[in-house]
Structure 1
Amino acid sequence: MSGSVGESRSSRRRTAAKSPRYDRSITVFSPEGRVFQVDYARNSVKLEGITSVAVRGADSVCVITQRTKAPADPLLDTADPPFMHLFQITERLGMLATGMPGHDDTLPFYLSTSVLLTGIFVTEADGRALAQQARNEAAGFRYKWGYEMPPKMLAQWLGDRAQVRTQHDGMRPYRVVATVVGIDEEKGTPELFTCDPAGQVLGHKATSVGLEDQEAIEFLEEAMAGNSSLSFQETMEMAVSALRHVLEDNNQGHDIEVGVVRKNYPTFRTVLRRIYKNPLAGQNILDGEGQ
């Protein structure tokens, strides 16, 4: 009896050892042609339970996201920077990370650029690490070439970094979806791109990332049909309306972070606001103090 039990256990171990585990390594494709670790990274973007929306207008771009609340820890130093998803890359360049938040405790680093970035965070804050790398890259580009890094080039650089992390053991994909937005100085037009954990870079008129992103995208598709040339005010209202569409209705409201960049005022600005499922009359999302 004991011999048969031992043989059965040994047989199961041999079978398990021979069974393919395509999700164990970032370098192994499944028979369906998928890299499961990349799929897991994409899915983890939704785990924080927040939604981000970005809308490109005729002369501006607006990005908004729900704000993550700080842990209810009585020993937490409230003087420390709060959990944020928007990072300032330069004076006119920022980054939004949709996912797990991070602290932006790095010193401000300013350059004269006209790009804004949005995207996701993890563990020692993937978003914060990616923001610091983007700061260094933007500064190096400016120093080497003497002009501002175009939005598309920055998005491609982020995509290249993300793609490299899908083909080496000992590394994992960024748990970040970066949405790059800004004003292209040569063409004078607003641009909007996303970069996912696989390194895929796409251009958009509007998009959403995170929880309920498909519902927000469907709202944007219907609302923007045949009307993509939005004014600055309409661009902000469209982004806020799409986010309201997927928010739960409660009496407390929802804290959000807002980032905007305009052709005529290309400095990247951010504000913190509270919105409600049902809009308040006369509420201007940019009224008040910037953060």
Structure 2
Amino acid sequence: MSRGSSAGYDRHITIFSPEGRLYQVEYAFKAVKSVGITTVAVKGVDSVCGVTQKKVPDKLIDPKSVTNVFRVSDHHGCIFTGLATDARAQLQRTRSEAADFKFKFGYEIPVDQIAKRLADINQVYTQHAYMRPLGVSLIFIGMDDERGPQLYKCDPAGYYIGYRGCAAGAKEQEAINYLEKKLKEEEKKLSYEETVQLALATLQSVVAADLKPSDVEVAVVSKDNPRFRILTDEEVEQQLTAMTEKD
């Protein structure tokens, strides 16, 4: 067995390689990218927007039944990137945690708390040989009564953190590079319109093609309308047109 090879060290989730790597966790990250979908999320001064590609794998499938965006509670939502089957299991758990929190304490669970809870669960999946890490990356967006718009990302290894802008999926690094250039000014404050258009522009840049409303799903929450919602095709078209006119 060669020391630098993964052979033998990826048979069980609990075995470290000599380099200190857990190969099955890395395989889970590859599974997130394997579906070929990219997701981008941006936080503005009073809103958060998440944009993801919408790909219908078969002509016989009803496009309305294909989605990567789900409501968690009234003011929170989740955009998943990766294996849809794993995502559904995570989202069911997420909704259960959010409902339990509201039942116990009488108010919506903060976005950072739901991200932390899912990250704790994901991390446990990397500790036991009878489990496997879930091949899905979750981006949570929501409106906090005290801290305003919130954007958190949770990965298969159980790591979570808040972002001003983040990405997941096939073109993740390209999207991050684009966002870093656009968000490099710490004092830059994005309005609702600017937040949505930056998220769309980032995705359009990395896929290197003009977006159409049928190609994307756009989820937003804002201070003026804190309920989590998905923009209609007409609203997406308006934003894309405004982007074109601005350029």
Partners of 2:73 and 2:108 within 8 A in 1? no
Q: Taking structure 1 as reference, are residues 254 and 243 closer, same or farther at Cα in structure 2, changes over 3 Å only?
A: farther
Partner of 1:58: 45
Partner of 1:87: 70
User: How does the TM-score come out when normalised to structure 2?
Assistant: 0.87
After superposition, give the CA deviation of every residue in 1:168-204 in whole Å (9 maximum; x if it has no partner): 11111011111122222223x2121111100011211
Q: Taking structure 1 as reference, are residues 190 and 34 closer, same or farther at Cα in structure 2, changes over 3 Å only?
A: same
Q: How far 1:47 sits from its partner (Å)?
A: 0.9
Structure-to-structure mapping, 1:212-231, within 5 angstroms: 212-226=171-185, 227-231=187-191
After superposition, give the CA deviation of every residue in 1:219-241 in whole Å (9 maximum; x if it has no partner): 11111221541101110011011
Secondary structure, aligned partner of 1:177: strand
Q: How far 1:161 sits from its partner (Å)?
A: 0.6
Pairing 1:182–2:165 present: no
In 2: Cα distance, 1:65 partner to 1:133 partner: 22
Q: How far 1:162 sits from its partner (Å)?
A: 0.4
Partner of 1:236: 196
Q: How far 1:255 sits from its partner (Å)?
A: 0.6
Q: Taking structure 1 as reference, are residues 148 and 220 closer, same or farther at Cα in structure 2, changes over 3 Å only?
A: same
Structure holding more helix per residue: 2
Partners of 2:45 and 2:189 within 8 A in 1? yes
Secondary structure, aligned partner of 1:63: strand
Partners of 1:205 and 1:228 within 8 A in 2? no
Pairing 1:257–2:221 present: no
Which AA in structure 2 matches 1:215? E
RMSD in angstroms over aligned alpha carbons? 2.6
Which AA in structure 1 matches 2:33? K
In 1: Cα distance, 2:211 partner to 2:242 partner: 19
List gaps (5 residues or longer) in structure 1: 1-14, 101-120, 285-291
**Higher alpha-carbon Rg:** 1
Partners of 2:38 and 2:171 within 8 A in 1? yes
Which AA in structure 1 matches 2:206? V
Partner of 2:208: 248
Secondary structure, aligned partner of 1:216: helix
Q: Taking structure 1 as reference, are residues 266 and 34 closer, same or farther at Cα in structure 2, changes over 3 Å only?
A: same
Q: Taking structure 1 as reference, are residues 248 and 193 closer, same or farther at Cα in structure 2, changes over 3 Å only?
A: same
In 2: Cα distance, 1:67 partner to 1:51 partner: 9
Partner of 1:45: 32
Partners of 1:256 and 1:273 within 8 A in 2? no
Identity level (%): 40
Q: How far 1:271 sits from its partner (Å)?
A: 2.8
Partner of 1:27: 14
Q: How far 1:138 sits from its partner (Å)?
A: 0.6
Partners of 2:197 and 2:240 within 8 A in 1? no
Q: Taking structure 1 as reference, are residues 252 and 155 closer, same or farther at Cα in structure 2, changes over 3 Å only?
A: closer
Partner of 1:139: 99
Partner of 1:160: 120
Pairing 1:148–2:108 present: yes
Q: Looking at both structures, which has the greater relative contact order when contacts are Cα pairs under 8 Å and sequence separation is at least 6? A: 2
In 2: Cα distance, 1:81 partner to 1:252 partner: 15
Partners of 1:58 and 1:231 within 8 A in 2? yes
In 2: Cα distance, 1:204 partner to 1:86 partner: 19
After superposition, give the CA deviation of every residue in 1:224-279 in whole Å (9 maximum; x if it has no partner): 22154110111001101100101133798861001000122110010354989xx9
In 1: Cα distance, 2:201 partner to 2:210 partner: 16
Which range is displaced more, 41-50 or 54-63? 41-50
